Each structure stands twice: as C-alpha cells, then as structure tokens.
Amino acid sequence: MQFNQNIIKVMPLLGTIIKKSIELKQENIVSDNSTHTKEQVRVLRRLLRKAAHTQYGKHYNFSEILSCRKPEAMLEMFRKNVPLNDYDTMHTEWWYKCLEGTENVTWPGKVKKFALSSGTSGASSKYIPVTQDMIKQIRKTSIKEIFNLAKFDLDPTIFTKGALMLGGSTALNFNGIYYEGDLSGITTRNIPFWFQKFYYPGKEISKEKDWTKKIDQIVAKAPEWDIAAIVGVPSWFQILFERIIQTYNLKNIHEMWPNLKIFIHGGVSFKPYKTGFEKLLAHPLHYMETYLASEGFLALQNEPNVDTMQLVTNNKIFFEFLPFNEDNFDENGNAKRDAKTLLLNEVKVDETYALVLSSCSGAWRYLIGDTIKFTNIDTCEIHITGRTKHFLSICGEHLSQENMNMAIERMGKELNVNIKEFTVAGIKHSKMFAHHWYIGSDDIIDPKKAKESIDKHLKILNDDYRTERIAAINELFITILPSNVFYDYMKQTGKLGAQFKFPRVLKGNKLTEWENYLSSNNIEFNKI
C-alpha cells in the first residue's frame, strides 16, 4: 500500500518532467518558414540517391537526374523523365514484383509489409508497400506530433494518463512472403517502448481482427482505464462513446473518463461528425488533426485552434501538386498523361491540387487520390478537400467533397441533428439530372427540411452548383436511413473497421451495389 501511495505522489512530478521535456524539444524543432523548399530538394536528392540502383531507378536513370548540380535542373529532369503514376500503374508494372518477393524493385531491399488501403474507389483492396524506412518516417513525425502538445494549455498530469488508439488489428496476415494489414495495425506494432505503458487498449485487444468483438472488449474494459487522449477516426469513436454511455447508463463519456482532454483525429473530415460527437462530452476537447495515409505521415496540425495542417517537408517524402481541373483530369477523376505538376514554390492559396508524392516506400510521382488546398504558402499550411474520384460533376456543377462535408455540417447544426454518415449519387431525372443524398442518422429528421437546408448551403458554397440548379439539376432527393444501415453494408462488403470509410460519392457499379443491398434487405429508400 505504501508503495502505491508513493507512486501516486510521484506521478504528477513525472507529468511535469514530460511536459517540460516536450516544451524544450518543441523550441528546437520549429522550422524556419523559408526552408521548406530547400528541405524538399534535399529530400528528393536523398530519395533518388538511395533508390538509384533499384530496378525503377535504373529504368528511369536516377543517376543522370542526380548528376544535375543545380536544384532547378534536377527538379525539371525528374519531372520530365519519371511519369506520373496512380496505383494501377505502380502495381501492374512494379509493385506486383514486390508481392512476389523480388528485392530492389522501387526501393532497396525486400518489402516485408503491405498496408491494405480502404479501397473507397477503384480496386477493392490496394497493397501499398511499407518499408522499414517508412515506419521510421511515421514514427519520427508521430513524435513531432506529441511535441506539438506543448502548445496546448494542458495540466502536466495529463501526460501520465492513457491514450486510446482505435485502429486495425496488429495481428497481421502472413502468406509466407510478406505481412499484410491495416497501416494503423502495422505502426502500432512498432510503437516506442516508452509509450507502451500509456497505450490502450493494450496488446491483446489490439490483435482482435473482428471489429465488433474489438469494440465489445473495449467497452468491457473501459471502467479500468484512465484515458486522457484518443486517437483515430471520428465516426468510430462516436460509435464507441455511444456504446459506453449506453452500457453504463452515463450522461456523457466524461463520467467514464473525466481526464479526457485530447482527440487526435484523421482519415475523414471531422466537420460532419463534430456536432453529434460533442453531444457525448461534458466539456470541450483539444483537437489535433493529422494526415496519416497508407503512403506515409504527410501533415499534422502545428498550432492549437486551427483547422489546417502543416506539410512535413523534411522527412523522406517529396511533394508535387497537380491542379485539379479539366485540363489535367478527365470526367472520372483520372489524371491525363500530359498533366503538369507544380512544386512547393509554385502553388497558390485556395487553389485545389491533387497530391503527388515520391517516398521512402518506393512510390514515385504517385497520385494518392487526395485533393488539398493551401491556406498559407510560407508555412505550408493545408487542408484536405476531398478525393480526385469523389466529386459530382454530371453537368458541370463541380461539387467537391469539401462542399458536401460543409453542407452536411451546416444542415446538422441548423436542424440540431446528429449526422453519422452520408453519401451522394448523381442520377438522370426527367431528361435532366438530380442528386440523391443518402443520410445516416438515428435522430428524427424531416427530409424536406434537410433538402432545403442542404440545397441552400450548397448554393452558397458553390457558384457552379447554384447555376446548374437552374439549368440542369432539377431535383434533389433525400433518403434518411438509420446509421446502422451504412455500417451493416460495410460489414457485408468486408469493410467494417477503423481503416475503412464509407465513400462520400457513389458512381456506377458502387451505386448499383448499394441500391441492390438496400432492396435485398427490404430497406425503404424512398426519395423525398
């Protein structure tokens, strides 16, 4: 008993030491705003140098590119000699060899781990190489993320509490050649030893592959934990909190975890979920957004109380930016062959760009499928606007995922309802066109009021939409569904879990599959 009492006395002191160490470290890692472009040149040289003797490096003559002493010449030759790639080209021409166990294909050595992407568009599952260098890249940026907590006004004892990370299974599948699994499962297996004491749900629960069982186990263990920070996708934490509150007959999640102060989130936009999420709290949280994709840790929130993230320009990833417009992309969101990228010193504020990267996992001039906007060029501040293939433009309305998220967020606030999921389809209607919104909520929602609100806000957010609502889009349809319909569909299609996101736009076969699912399960989806 005396030992335990001594531990209790020491813990606040330990928290003070941890916080002070973070603050001192933070002072030393602040980058000079003028160095980002130079950092990117150094990163590219190092990537080219390390991969020069791979199959890819020899094919595209990295040695010749490296012979250019002037940065401008090297950058120009790199963009001229190396083609733009999407997953299909990288996989069919190069990465399939890695899956067969071939060494030195696009990065030195043998790829032993592959991250399975969520597959919200294109192939049902994408195998993204995860090298040891990429694991180090993610770990280094994650530590910087922890250091950024020094900028928040937090009690030192917070740093002695637990962090709940809701991710994929750490029990990776092994086929005799490589391991495969969700990126969060891969990275969690490699968390620093000093952090393991604070990490929840712990090794055993983290291994669980059945997502429903994992949630059940976390709910059962919740009273035993003192959680100060949560890390993961907003939609799944909302589900978890609702389960805990219901199971233990609580008013809010802070009755279970009174020290909960921090939410580190990413994967999807938080805006559509924020109103409903905050109804589950007793007091506000500090929010930190991250941009951790299957291809690497790309950006993180650098300051409190902002809705932007700073690109990580000095850690093994080289960025290019492809203007997201009709000159560079076709109607399906595929980049055209002659598309020209821009570099960090060439971009503009408030323009939409598709993100292109070259990385220490052997991705080269690779379109990851995300679109971004810069809010500050000097500090490389960005926010994610959507996906290259998740937009609606059936008649020139150019409706982005960002537009959709904001319209749903504003509608939810206006009607005081909690929207948990949604998706949109563009359809033909009466010789013209219509948008069909499927909205997942457990609240009672008047479809007509939802329709009026969404339409009103989209007209404010998007001039093209406002024009086409007169000229070509003659109707909006709203279908309100219980939120579990979306989750049951994801479960049936094998995409239930923290790494999976419901696509915000449904087209072609995806739309047909969704409507067939609703029909086959006798789920009414009347259009209002």
Does the pLDDT of residue 351 top 90, yes or no? yes
Residue type for position 231: V
d(CA 98, CA 363): 12
Return d(Cα 275, Cα 412) in angstroms, integer.
7
**Half-sphere CA count of 487, side-chain side, radius 13 A:** 15
Report the topology of domain 134-294.
Answer: Rossmann fold (3.40.50)
Question: Which pLDDT score, from 0 to 100, does residue 2 have?
Answer: 38
Instruction: Answer whether residue 29 shows pLDDT above 70.
Output: no
Highest-confidence segment of 40-54, 166-180, 451-465: 40-54
Judge residue 303's burial from the number of C-beta atoms within 10 Å of its C-beta, 0-12 exposed, 13-18 middle, 19 or more buried.
Answer: middle
Residue 180 exposure: Cα atoms within 13 Å on the Cβ side: 13
Peptide bond into 201 cis (omega under 30): yes
Q: How far is CA 95 from CA 89, 105, 185, 331, 364, in A?
A: 9, 7, 21, 27, 11
Residue 126 above 70 pLDDT?
yes
SS3 content of the chain, % helix, strand, coil (to 5): 45, 20, 35
The DSSP bridge pattern shows strands 199-200 and 162-165 to be parallel
Domain locations in the chain?
A: 134-294, 401-520
Asked which of 81-95, 107-121, 199-213, 395-409 is least confident by mean pLDDT, the reply is 107-121
What was the pLDDT predicted at 279?
93
Q: Provide the whole-model pTM.
A: 0.83
- Tell me what pLDDT residue 123 has: 45
Backbone angles phi, psi at 431, to 5 degrees: 65, 5
Residue 168, pLDDT > 80, answer yes
Beta-carbon count within 10 A of 226 CB: 13
The three-state secondary structure class of 104 is coil
Rounded to whole angstroms, the Cα distance separating 207 from 135 reads 19
**Record: fold of 401-520:** GMP Synthetase; Chain A, domain 3 (3.30.300)
For residues 74, 79, 81, 83, the Cα torsion angle rounded to the nearest 10 degrees is: 150
| Strand 432-440 to 127-130 pairing | unpaired
